[in-house]
Amino acid sequence: MPELPEVESARAVIERAGLGREIAGVDDSDTYVCRPHRPGQIRDALVGRALGAAHRRGKSMWCDTTWDGPELGIHLGMSGKIVIAGPDGTEADGGDYWEGRRRPGDYRWCRFALTFADGGRLMLVDPRRLGRVRLDPPVASLGPDAATMTPAEFRAALASGTAPVKARLLDQEAVAGIGNLLADQILWSARINPGRRVDRLTGDDVDRLLRATRRAVRSALADGGVHTLGLNGFRLAGARCPRDGAPMARSAVGGRTSWWCSVEQAV
DNA sequence: ACACGTGTTATGCG
DNA sequence: TCGCATAACACGTG
């Protein structure tokens, strides 16, 4: 399930296998995934064009389209995956985070598809349908990308308000790209309780959070996903902190299940 | 049967 | 209007 690193893999596969191929057909019939567009609206806007550059900011990605066409925005939601098939049906896909839950050629959960003139297809495969495809997606309100933000941008994201620090890390308008697993990893790495209010963070706390964020994002990008991070396997009932062996605590913070070391990250 | 979920967003409240 | 909390969304999985 995608956070920034998985979305970057999806963007890269589009860049590698999806650009410059003439779009001959579009299946935009899933009105939930393609909301607020009407069926056929995305098709009419894209047929005859091709995808240009593939961009990403946080967990949102979008492609330019040729002939001054609209941008095509794709969000993977909780369970989306990009699959690109060549004319011969050979697949390229955007990462292994589905861990074998889908076999090549299984398109039961295809919610959106571009059919190229060469016979290939670009698909959004998404069991839960929380992914989203839309023209000219609004990305201006997103915060700086967690992979490329400056220290000043990160400090600014934490500089005002009273929200729990984890809720702020998850706020895509503050910083774009951090999801639930990445947030737990960052807070564990920086030894900060997820419920700590941002106005109670010291300068040193913020510095540790910045370093932990860079480390976690870079590591997940290099290793292929958030499930490769150190806390993986320790967000479980009965788990003990891999650093000091203390019990891992669990509660909901920022509306999401959160795990932290009951000793190192005590309030 | 039932609770859970790696994301987003509409709604409600102070 | 702002900042924050919560429920809702859809649906497969354990």
- Within 8 A by CB and 6+ apart from A130, the residues are A77, A78, A79, A80
Structural domain including A131 reads: 4-135
Residue of A57, A59, A111, A166 marked catalytic: A59
**A101, A176: one domain:** no
**A14, A111: one domain:** yes
Question: Is A81 known to be catalytic?
Answer: no
What is the full per-residue pLDDT of chain A (267 aa) written as tens digits? 799 999 999 999 999 999 999 999 999 999 999 999 999 999 999 999 999 999 999 999 999 999 999 999 999 999 999 999 999 989 887 766 775 677 888 899 999 999 999 999 999 999 999 999 999 999 999 999 999 999 999 999 999 999 999 999 999 999 999 999 999 999 999 999 999 999 999 999 999 999 999 999 999 999 888 888 889 989 998 999 999 999 999 999 999 999 999 999 998
How many residues make up chain A in this entry?
Answer: 267
Residue of A2, A137, A144, A164 marked catalytic: A2
Q: Provide the CA A167 to C1' B2 distance, Å, integer.
A: 28
**A131, A164: one domain:** no
Please give the Cα distance from A250 to A84 (Å, whole number).
38
- Within 8 A by CB and 6+ apart from A69, the residues are A45, A46, A49
Q: Which residue, A63, A59, A82, A74, is CA-closest to A2?
A: A59
Question: Is A22 known to be catalytic?
Answer: no
Q: Which residue, A117, A119, A123, A130, is CA-closest to A104?
A: A123
* Strand C–CB A249 distance below 7 A: no
**A116, A186: one domain:** no
Q: pTM of the prediction?
A: 0.95
Question: Is the residue at A44 inside a domain?
Answer: yes
Closest nucleotide to A130: CA versus each C1': C10
Question: Is the residue at A186 inside a domain?
Answer: yes
Residue of A102, A155, A211, A256 marked catalytic: A256
Q: Please tell me the total count of domains within chain A.
A: 2
**A96, A209: one domain:** no
Which CATH number fits the domain that encloses residue A242?
1.10.8.50
Question: Is the residue at A267 inside a domain?
Answer: no
DSSP code per residue over A125-185: E-TT---EEEES---TTS--BTTT--HHHHHHHTSSS--BHHHHHH-TTTSBS--HHHHHH
Question: Is the residue at A146 inside a domain?
Answer: no
Question: Is the residue at A141 inside a domain?
Answer: no
Question: Is A166 known to be catalytic?
Answer: no
**A84, A53: one domain:** yes
Q: Provide the CA A88 to C1' B10 distance, Å, integer.
A: 43
**A226, A155: one domain:** yes
Sign of the C-alpha dihedral, residues A159, A160, A163, A168?
negative
* Strand C–CB A35 distance below 7 A: no
* Strand B–CB A109 distance below 7 A: no
Question: Is the residue at A171 inside a domain?
Answer: yes
